[in-house]
Structures are given as structure tokens and as C-alpha cells.
A and B are shown apart, each in its own frame.
Chain A
Amino acid sequence: QVQLVQSGAEVKKPGASVKVSCKASGYTFSSYGISWVRQAPGQGLEWMGWISAYNGNTNYAHNLQGRVTMTTDTSTSRAYMELRSLRSDDTAVYYCARDYYDSSGYYGGLGYWGQGTLVTVSS
């Protein structure tokens, strides 16, 4: 079965960087894209960006461009999300999620999610 297992919670100081990993299993890693979504305390879901595990193409949310980098390592079936110049409002639970395709091959959104990684930014 498809599983996405994320790295553990992090505490960072303002201005630092954080790199969250997402280990995939149960499918051919390079066949599906991975999105990253975050949820700040008391807030809704925010789409951060997407990376193709096939060729590394990325698409980042406008408000994070320049601070976020998404990468994949097909040898270990891992996706990574690095966020730099952290601010207090980056405190959130960060999720990785895999593309969903139905039986007809149509893209259907984010069908499989990791358990989430809490990143706390505090001085």
C-alpha cells in the first residue's frame, strides 16, 4: 500500500532553514508528483508547491518563491522540502502528498498524504 512517512518535528530559530523529508513506499516513486502543503496553527491548508519525481520539474507558490526548494532522490524514494529564512509565521505542520490518478489515468488531486511534520520557529 502507498505510504508516505515524514521526518520528525523540528524547532528552528528565525532566519534558519529547515529541510523536511518524505519517504515513499508501495509504488514506483518516479511515476508520481509530490506536493507540499502546510497548515499554520488555527489556519487552513496552504499549497506550497509541487515537484515531479520523474524529472524534477517544480512549481512553487508565488509567496514562497525564493525561499523554498523541493527536491527528490529517486535512489531512496524520498522527497525533500527546504524552507529558508524562517519566520515565526512559518510555524506550521508540513505535509507531503502524492498525486492521485484514477483507473482511467485522470489526475484527481492529492490522494495520499504523509503524517505531517511540525516545524516550530521561535527565538
Chain B
Amino acid sequence: QSALTQPASVSGSPGQSITISCTGTSSGVGGYNYVSWYQHHPGKAPKLMIYDVSNRPSGVSNRFSGSKSGNTASLTISGLQAEDEADYYCNSYTSSNFPVFGGGTKLTVL
């Protein structure tokens, strides 16, 4: 299965907002509201940040939000903080009954 397309890197200054895109197809991102986002600090376990496009698990800061338009999902982080610096991965269910991850986006907080 093909990976979802994410930008390799994004950056922002503390306090700013950034958005990470995740582009798939109509048989994946566009066809289902089963997009999730994971934060991954190197050397640690990934953490679920958003599920079902825009829902936050309990305990996740409301600075993190998700949305979707057509075949592209987005993760927005507002009020950037130093600890947000990490790799971010989107994931989507597909019509092949397999979930697929995006290639990952490295977020740098300047």
C-alpha cells in the first residue's frame, strides 16, 4: 500500500501556529473519516494525538486540532511550544482494509 504524502519538514517559532498536511486518495483519506495523527519523539513510543480526523484523546492538549478536505487531512498545532518538536505521522484506513501511514513530517520549533 502507498504511504500518504506529508511534507518532509515544517517549522515555526514558539507561540505560532503550523499546519501539517497529509494527502491520500479517495479510497483512503477522502473516503473515510478514519484519519489519525501520531507524535513521535525519537527514541520514545509514538503518541496518538488525533483520531477520526478531528477528535482528541483525553489528555491531549487542545492546541492540537485536525481537519479534512477532500483527499487531504491536516494537523494544526497552535501556540507552538518547544516540546512540540517531534516527528508527526498521519494514518488512514483504506478500502483495502489496511491502514497506511504517511511518510512523516519533522517539526522544528525555531
Contact = CB atoms under 8 A, between A and B. Distances in A.
Interface stretch (B13-21, B23-31, B48-56, B71-79): B48-56
Contacts of A61: 1, 98
Interface string A96-109: 01001011001011
Contacts of A102: 51, 55, 57
Contacts, number: 64
* Range class of the B interface residue count: 20 to 34
Interface of B: 1, 3, 36, 38, 40, 45-48, 51-52, 55, 57-58, 87, 89, 91, 96-104
A37 B104 CA distance: 14
A16 interface: no
A108 B48 contact: yes
B48 A95 contact: no
Contact of A115 (B36, B45, B51, B57): B45
* Range class of the A interface residue count: 20 to 34
Interface stretch (A7-15, A44-52, A66-74, A79-87): A44-52
Given A37-B46, A106-B52, 14 more contacts: A44-B103, A45-B38, A45-B89, A46-B101, A47-B98, A47-B99, A59-B97, A61-B1, A61-B98, A95-B46, A109-B91, A110-B36, A111-B57, A113-B47
A39 to B, nearest CB: 8
A49 to B, nearest CB: 9
Given A44-B103, A47-B91, A59-B98, A108 B3 contact: no
